[in-house]
Amino acid sequence: MSLAQNVEFMRQFSKLSGFNGLGAYGRSASAVPSPLVEIGQFGTNPGALRMFSFVPEHLQRAPALVVVLHGCGQTAAGYDLGAGWSTLAKRYGFALLMPEQQASNNGNTCFNWFDPGDTTRGRGEAASIRQMIARMVVEHKIDSRRIYVTGLSAGGAMASAMLATYPDVFAGGAVIAGLPYGIASNVREALNGMMQSASRPARELGDLVRKASKHKGPWPKLSVWHGSADRTVNPANANEIVKQWLDVHGLPSAPMSTADVDGYPRDVWWNEEGETVVESYTITDMAHGTPLGLAGGSDESYGAAGAFMIEAGISSSYHIANFFGLTERVSQPNEVVKPDTKSVARPAPKPAAPVVPSAATASLQSPELAATLWPRTTLIRHAKPPRTPKRNNIDVGAVITRALTAAGLMK
């Protein structure tokens, strides 16, 4: 691409994304007190990212880790303030990792989700995030079967990249106003994907994920969120993301269930064991941003409204954490926990897949980690399920309950 084309791209890109008007949730958020702590050393850091984390005083036993990726123009602290992830982490006892882009890598502080040098396994920004995860696993005894990733916009597209390039690391992910993995390899293709979102065959999209690593499954589950009035990232991208991961999971294109949640349609697909593995929320008439549910002061109210943090009557952060199976309250010392009727009403999350330790599990680590960072770390790959599920082991009652709940016929 010529210099003139790059200049024109950046001019249009800034207009599209409104990166100059982020207020307290963009670059100025550095002045806002934050519970996040910066960690300086976590490996070779080939993507030159900054690492921030939040670990609550009271962690669950074998705690989970959620990796949260901010949008363009934002900071880790700013996005945490807006989306409320550290508040969720404190309430439910999981650890939080929030990588942060630097202006030296991208002038709008977008994660470079379209650059193969940053979205290939073992390279660039993707490798830096993987190294951050390795440090968190070792330092805080994270359960390697309970690692998740989510992000907004460019952060959502980068979450797609992390799920595709490291499917052996993540149990699940959530993409908010993002894009499918592998549809762009330069800035012009990225802009076209944002504006037009050309429809691609499901098999082609699925192959982009399958070719990103040597992993053969099981695959991470996925939650997709998008506003129907988004003028920055075409809402059709949500359909393409869903299509991509349905193909990876070998699931049909038609939703197995559709129901309203907090007034918005949610499509659901589950696997043969009855576990929801793909879900998609369409936030009607919402523009580009992360949906918040602040009105009413319910237990699902997290974050604070601001630029690209939009009050919509539904808390995406809470519902994503619930989709990950993280919303069981942690008891504090000398505290009597009142029953959470919202949590009780939901079916209990299905236990994580069993883990079979083997010598091959060391392949979870990138070459940089093996050479420079955690030589004694052994992270465990999800065990591969049998090709033919044993029907006599399926809890039929639980499957029926999940189906009725997803259809809105049971609370």
Predicted local distance difference test score (pLDDT) of residue 398: 55
Output the domain CATH number for residue 306. Answer: 3.40.50.1820
**Do residues 362 and 370 lie in contact, with contact meaning Cβ atoms separated by under 8 Å?**
yes
Predicted local distance difference test score (pLDDT) of residue 307: 85
Two structure tokens written together for 110: 């977008």
| Residue type, position 367, single letter | P
Checking DSSP bridges between strand 50-54 and strand 95-100, what pairing results, if any?
antiparallel
- Cα separation, 203 vs 206, in Å, equals 5
Predicted local distance difference test score (pLDDT) of residue 198: 92
In a domain, 5, yes or no: no
**What is the set of active-site residues?**
153
The dihedral of CA 372, 375, 379, 384: what is its sign?
positive
Which CA distances in Å does 112 have to 45, 70, 103, 200? 15, 12, 11, 22
Domain total of the chain? 1
- Cα separation, 78 vs 84, in Å, equals 10
In a domain, 3, yes or no: no
In a domain, 4, yes or no: no
The residue assigned the tokens 């609550």 is 56
**Do residues 287 and 268 lie in contact, with contact meaning Cβ atoms separated by under 8 Å?**
no
Predicted local distance difference test score (pLDDT) of residue 402: 53
Q: For the chain, list residues with pLDDT below 50.
A: 1-30, 331-394, 396, 399-400, 403-411
Predicted local distance difference test score (pLDDT) of residue 328: 83
**Do residues 332 and 100 lie in contact, with contact meaning Cβ atoms separated by under 8 Å?**
no
In a domain, 186, yes or no: yes
Which CA distances in Å does 173 have to 156, 302, 321? 9, 19, 10
Domain that holds residue 223: 15-333+340-406
| Residue type, position 121, single letter | R
Q: Express each pLDDT in 336-364 by its tens digit.
A: 333 333 333 334 344 444 333 333 333 33
In a domain, 395, yes or no: yes
Q: Express each pLDDT in 58-115 by its tens digit.
A: 999 999 999 999 999 999 999 999 999 999 999 999 999 999 999 999 999 999 999 9
Checking DSSP bridges between strand 221-227 and strand 50-54, what pairing results, if any?
unpaired
Predicted local distance difference test score (pLDDT) of residue 388: 35
- Cα separation, 181 vs 159, in Å, equals 9
Radius of gyration of the chain (CA): 20
Predicted local distance difference test score (pLDDT) of residue 302: 83
In a domain, 8, yes or no: no
In a domain, 7, yes or no: no
pTM of the model: 0.77
Two structure tokens written together for 399: 């499957």
